[in-house]
Structure 1
Amino acid sequence: MNASSSIRKKLVRVVMATTFAALLVSVGLIIAYDLRNYQRSLVNDLSTQAELVGHMTSAALAFDDPRLAGENLALLRTRPTVNAAAIFDENGRLFASYSAGKEATTFPSRPEAAGARTEGNAVLLFRPIVENGETIGTVWLRAENRMLARTLDYLAIALGVMLLAMGTAYLLMRRMGRVITVPIVAVTEIARDVVATRDYSRRAPRLGNDEAAELADSFNAMLTEIEQRTRELEDSNGEIVREAQERSRAQQEVMRLNEQLEHRVDERTMQLALANAELANAIDEARKANQAKSAFLSSMSHELRTPLNAILGFAQILTSESLPTTEAQKKEFASHILKSGRHLLTLINEILDLAKVESGTITLSMEPVALGEILTECQTMIEPLAAARGIRVLFPQQAQVDHVVLLADRTRLKQVLLNLLSNSIKYNRDAGAVVLGCQQVSRERLRIAVQDTGMGLRPDQLDSLFQPFNRLGQEAGAQEGTGIGLVVTRRLVELMNGTIEVSSSPGVGSVFTIELGATSPQVSQAGAFEAAAPALAADDQGTPHLLLYVEDNPANLKLVEEIVRFRPDLRLIAAGDGPLGLSMARAHHPEIILMDLNLPGMSGLEVLAQLRREPGMRDIPVIALTANAMPRDIERGIAAGFTRYLTKPIDIDKFNEAIDLTLAQLRAQKGAAS
């Protein structure tokens, strides 16, 4: 009876455990599947809402209308799960927001990368707003995450189902257990007697025709062979013991090899992770290098094309048989060519100096250098440049520096001082001053300071001052040059075992200080101007067509004036910066506007955008005339709304062709309107 009860209990336990495991796996999979679908559905729904909001808000971003964006976000009140939303502009600033509740809502300070993430009981989603392939903003949505409540509901349902199923299985097994346990108990009792009495003649009864009956037959057959098997087992017992010992040793060896293999796998995994990290760093460095290369090529293209424009343009006029020139004009054009050529040579020398310094191929001859001689030579070369703008240059008295001997490369030291002095003159006020002073810091160190009375620099400009193409923090186009002179200067000072520092106060001026070893105890050149070509008499067909040229470079303006002078059907007026160009366009209503892109204060693209916003000028065709000749620059210019895009140096035939085609289009539009 005890055996029957024990078997029955074990059978019930097995069935209950199996039922519980099956229910647990099934219910768990169903809950996990549903919760996963719920999470995915929630994220997909938020992505759809974000895409719809982004599409609806793109116009508000384009026209800078936060109110319209706010109204679009307010439509999310029909989505009760969305409790907050925001729109960020392309600069990452908060443009418009929406909150479903009355309590204060905290919005992100900056947009994050596109994607969704869970934060507490909320799901946050960022999605970029893309218009015509360009990202113009970011949508942020925050929705209530009901995952916990849904999980608790499922767990309650699962608990009820499992309790009901387990109870049903228990009742069934209590009723049906005797059918299985009675034959087994009979075999058990016979086996107990055989073990106790060693009487192998006993046989278990056969009850029924199921597997239990087959068990009894097998048990009886086993009893017949037990005696014979017992003797055989005794004989083979010793062999079995030996095999067991060998198997144990083999298992221990296998475990040892497995541990070694796991250790090697861990090492290889770590090596692979390190290799992947190094590869990612290499890829990132390659990407940054490629971006730097692109920026260098773009800047060099603009800087080299600007003087080339004047050289090739005036050369085309001088060599053209269809454009006769006087002797005075030829001398003037040759002067422009010579000036631009010298400027181009300066640019090339600066680039070569930077390349030598960066590659480490530059060699210095460190030797004692008399400071007085160097300052005298620099003063002789700098004073004519300063006199042209009425700038006073003050050097220390010769007696103060005659005895000073520096340990430096004479040629490079002169280059450093000339660069600092020329910058102080270039970015100084008219009738300003430049002061060069010397101070003995210690027995073996001398400090040389160059102070100017220019416009000075802000702290953010000082942080990036010694970066290539910075141009002392001035706007692009305000001063000629590559902006790499200070980079070369700093590298040369460092190669001569010296240091260079700068301090500046906006509106007061700047001080550049270099410190070297001793062997003994901004106003822009290009201001706003208006230049008009000589008024030409009207031809037989009527009044000359009026052209407005917005250009800050006098040589480029002079070139276009000379080109237009040979065309009696054209009349040219000019402006030296963007605001003046807008004023002249409003006052004169020209038929065509020629626009440089790199203008001081207000770029050509910004001027074009303002023209397109004003009803009286939005239909005036604007032709870009710029040294920004990279393919992406041209694509961006055409996309911004320029009628045509001409690059410097100017090709006179293409220039005239662009003017003629634009005038022909204007005539065709007037004819169609009439």
Structure 2
Amino acid sequence: MSARHSIRTKLVAAVMTTTLAALLVSIAIIIGYDLRSYHRTLTNDLATQAELVGHMTSAALTFDDPRLANENLALLSTRPQVRAAAIYDAKGELFASYQAAGETRAMPGVLSGAPGTDGDDLVIHQSIVENGDTLGTVYLRAENQLMERTLNYLSIAAGVTLLAMGVAYLLVRRMGRVVTEPIVAITEIARDVVATRDYSRRAPRISDDEAGELVDSFNAMLTEIEGRTRELETSSAEIAHEVQERSRAQQEVMRLNEQLEHRVDERTLQLALANAELANAIEEARSANQAKSAFLSSMSHELRTPLNAILGFAQILTSDTLPSTLEQKKEFANHILKSGRHLLTLINEILDLAKVESGTVTLSMEPVALSDTLLECRAMVAPIAAARGVRVLFPEAPGAVVLADRTRLKQVLLNLLSNAVKYNREDGAVVLTCEQVAPSRLRMAVQDTGIGLDAGQVASLFQPFNRLGQEGGNQEGTGIGLVVTKRLVELMGGEIGVTSSPGVGSVFWIELATTAPLAAPVHEGSAQELPQVDTLPREGASQLEPHVILYVEDNPANLRLIEEIVRFRSDLRLLSAPDGHVGLSLARAHRPEIILMDLNLPGLSGIEVLRQLRSDPITAAIPVIALTANAMPRDIARGQAAGFNRYLTKPIDIDKFTEAINSTLAVLHPMGAPPAGRKAE
């Protein structure tokens, strides 16, 4: 009786435990799923609300309008679960805020912490991004009812569990006897067989269900036990061998697991490195975007400044309501010319920086006599310094020879000297010194008497768009001259540095490698006089038919400029064509002595026109001079390779233009004779 009671108790315990486990798992899954859905829905709702507020407030941040931002935040009063909200600007400072009724916690003045939970509240941060720029951050704090919902669910789950367990207990107690009686009978027979070793005993079949089948199986088992015993002895050796095989297989599995763990560690490390590189790339892209914004802002100001003078004085000159005297017109024209040259200088600085940064700049390293370069620099800097009353002191002509690119070396020295004059005080001084600091190194230093720079300004000196620390000053320039100077010096194998004392002045120095002195040139025989090319019409030129020049140009303003220049030359006659097709027709009909060619022409490019001119025997020998705004080195090289006799770039330098015309005519008529078919009037 006690045995029957024992198995029944176990059956009840097993069923009750299983039922309880199933109930707990089911309830936990349901509660967890609901709470997770609630939290996700609340988070998504707040994120959507924050994004909407961000879009509505972007204009307020752009135009610095806290009132509009506060009005937008006040709309959250319709969302009672939102307890507080705020808008922070790009610096993380509080811009606008909102608090629900009854909310006592103050908003922080500076955005801190991370989104998540704040006590019983849920906190959301949403960045405000407009056109790729981060304008600020939306802060939302909402009431999180997760704990309250959890307690309600637990109360319901406890009631359901108690009710289900009670019903299950009653059912198991009533049905347990039907299941346990056949099992108890088999247990008693099995105990006797074990005690007496009498395998002839058989258990009685009480029922025809699974318990009856169990009795039949038990009896059959008794029949086979003896045979199985003998078979077990035989298979013991096989089992031992199998155990050994399994042991070896287990060791192999362990070895493979170790290799797998090692590979996982390697892949994890590689992934970490890749993530770090990705983070660096993202940071570099962000920095590049900020640099681009700074570049556009600086260029907009620097380019508009000279354009303002050019357009302003040009409007005065062309206005009928603003009459001006001849002297005023000359003064206005000088202002336009000065601003135009300054604008060209800015563009050249930008192009130099672009070439240096892209690695396309090419240097011609050769021995350069320092004395000649210093004389050229002195001649160019002296007028600028005299205009400001600054004394410029150069060393006695040194005999040193440095290994450098002649043109770039002069550019570096001129930039340092012009900066020393520009940022100097009135009636100050600039001193250039040369010192041999090593057997094969020469240092050239430019010292000024300006206001000097502090340590922070010196640290950021060679960064683009930094005007020698003169923030808020009235000096012109892009602030990229020193960047180009530093890169050029480094490309020439040199070094550049600066020392400065506030209130005393600054010293900029460069070091270059020296080389053996240049050998004196050897002149054989008497020097031959080179043919002189006049820049003015030759005497008696009016007695000859004028030289015909064809200008192919689609821009009316550029065409008018050349017409005005040629108008002062009685020995020249200008024909014009608005596109390449008309230019080809005029060239074949009039056979001009020189053709001026723009490259960017409608329909037919200047290079294609040149190709057709060269392929036609009638026009093949006519010199063609390119006159274009394509001033990049690759454009010039492409034009020269195409076969242009000369390559002039816009804006036009009238002296260079005149020299190109005169030198080309001198080649065509070396003895000053009139062209074939011409006669004196």
TM-score, shorter chain, exceeding 0.5:
yes
Whether contact under 8 Å (2:353, 2:484) holds in the other structure is yes
Task: Determine the C-alpha separation between the residues in 2 that align with 1:256 and 1:150.
Answer: 50
In structure 2, give the amino acid aligned to 1:421: L
Residues in 2 aligned to 1:428 and 1:269: alpha-carbon distance in whole angstroms: 59
Q: What is the aligned counterpart of 1:467 among 463, 466, 490?
A: 463
CA–CA distance in structure 2, aligned partners of residues 55 and 306 of structure 1: 35
Residues 438 and 448 in structure 1, CA contact (< 8 A), matched pair in contact too: yes
Q: Is the Cα–Cα contact under 8 Å of residues 404 and 518 in structure 1 kept in the other structure?
A: no
Name the structure 1 match of 2:486: 490
Q: Partners in 2 of 1:132 and 1:277 — Cα distance? A: 27
For 1:86 and 1:458, the matched residues in 2 are separated by 40
Partner of 1:348: 348
In structure 2, do the counterparts of structure 1 residues 293 and 126 end up closer, same or farther at CA, with 3 Å as the change threshold? closer
Could you tell me how far apart the structure 1 residues matched to 2:352 and 2:510 are?
25
Could you say what the CA RMSD is over the residues aligned between the two structures, in angstroms? 5.3
Task: State how far apart, in whole Å, the 1-side matches of 2:71 and 2:356 are.
Answer: 59
- For residues 567-611 of structure 1, give each alpha carbon's deviation from its aligned partner in whole angstroms, at most 9, with x where no partner exists: xxxxxxxxxxxxxxxxxxxxxxxxxxxxxxxxxxxxxxxxxxxxx
**Runs of 5+ consecutive residues of structure 2 not aligned to the other structure:** 315-324, 515-560, 565-649, 652-681
Matches of 2:26 and 2:273 in 1, distance apart? 41
TM-score (norm 2): 0.58
Taking the TM superposition and a 5 Å limit, the aligned residue runs for 1:6-405 are: 6-51=6-51, 53-54=53-54, 57=57, 60-61=60-61, 64-77=64-77, 79-89=79-89, 92-100=92-100, 103-107=104-108, 109-110=110-111, 117-129=116-128, 137-275=136-274, 277-278=276-277, 281=280, 285=284, 340=340, 344=344, 347-348=347-348, 351-352=351-352, 355-356=355-356, 359=359, 362=363, 378-388=377-387, 390-395=388-393
CA deviation profile, 1:519-555 (whole Å, cap 9, x unmatched) = 9xxxxxxxxxxxxxxxxxxxxxxxxxxxxxxxxxxxx
Distance of aligned partners of 1:188 and 1:263 in 2 relative to their CA distance in 1, 3 Å threshold: farther
**Matching residue's letter, 1:420:** L
Alignment of 1:502-651 (within 5 A): 503=500, 511-514=506-509, 516=511
Is the contact made by 1:461 and 1:473 (CA closer than 8 Å) also made in structure 2?
A: yes
Equivalent AA in structure 1 for residue 27 of structure 2: V
Q: Which string of whole-angstrom CA distances, capped at 9 and with x for unpartnered residues, describes residues 153-174 of structure 1? A: 4445444544554455345434
Distance of 2:44 and 2:478 partners within structure 1: 50
Displacement of 1:86 in angstroms is 0.9
Distance, in Å, in 1 between the alignment partners of 2:357 and 2:37 is 61
Relative distance call for 1:364 and 1:110 in structure 2 (3 A) is farther
1:393 is displaced (CA, Å) by: 2.0
SS at match of 1:85: strand
Change (3 A) 1:13 1:151: same
Q: CA deviation at 1:14?
A: 2.4
- Secondary structure, aligned partner of 2:201: coil
Q: 1:450 aligns with which of 447, 452, 476?
A: 447
Q: Distance in 2 between matches of 1:265 and 1:305?
A: 59
Q: Displacement of 1:441 after TM fit? A: 12
Deviation at 1:102, TM superposition (A): 6.3
Post-superposition offset of 1:38: 1.8
The residue number in structure 2 matching 1:501 is 498
Alignment CA distance shift 1:345-1:24 (3 Å): same
- How many residues get paired? 504
Partners of 1:493 and 1:352 lie apart in 2 by 13
Deviation at 1:191, TM superposition (A): 1.0
Superposed displacement of residue 189, structure 1? 1.1
- Displacement of 1:187: 0.3
- The residue matched to 1:261 in structure 2 has which SS? helix
- 2:391 and 2:429 in contact (8 A); partners too: yes
Inter-partner Cα distance in structure 2 for 1:277 and 1:63: 37
- Residues 341 and 446 of structure 1: is their aligned pair in 2 closer, same or farther, counting only changes over 3 Å? closer
**1:440 and 1:160, CA in 2 relative to 1: closer, same or farther beyond 3 A?**
farther
**Equivalent residues of 1:365, 1:408 under 8 A apart:** yes
Q: Distance in 2 between matches of 1:263 and 1:517?
A: 53
Which residue does 2:553 correspond to in 1?
none
Q: State the SS of the aligned residue for 2:199.
A: coil
- Following the alignment from structure 1 to structure 2, what is the Cα–Cα distance between the partners of residues 29 and 120? 25
In structure 1, stretches of 5+ residues that fail to align are 316-325, 520-558, 563-647, 650-674
Question: Residues 135 and 239 from structure 1, CA distance in 2 versus in 1: closer, same or farther, beyond 3 angstroms?
Answer: closer
User: 1:11 is matched by which residue type in structure 2?
Assistant: L
Give the fraction of aligned pairs with identical amino acids, expressed as a percent: 60
Distance 2:283 2:458 in 1: 27
Distance 1:74 1:197 in 2: 92
Post-superposition shift, 1:242? 3.1
Q: Counterparts of 2:505 and 2:401 in 1: how far apart (Å)?
A: 24
For residue 84 of structure 2, give the secondary structure of its aligned residue in structure 1: strand
User: What is the CA–CA distance in structure 2 between the aligned matches of 1:336 and 1:78, rounded to whole Å?
Assistant: 62
Please give the per-residue CA displacement for 1:69-128, whole angstroms capped at 9, x wherever unaligned: 335434545544333211234665422123345645242624899xx5334433221234
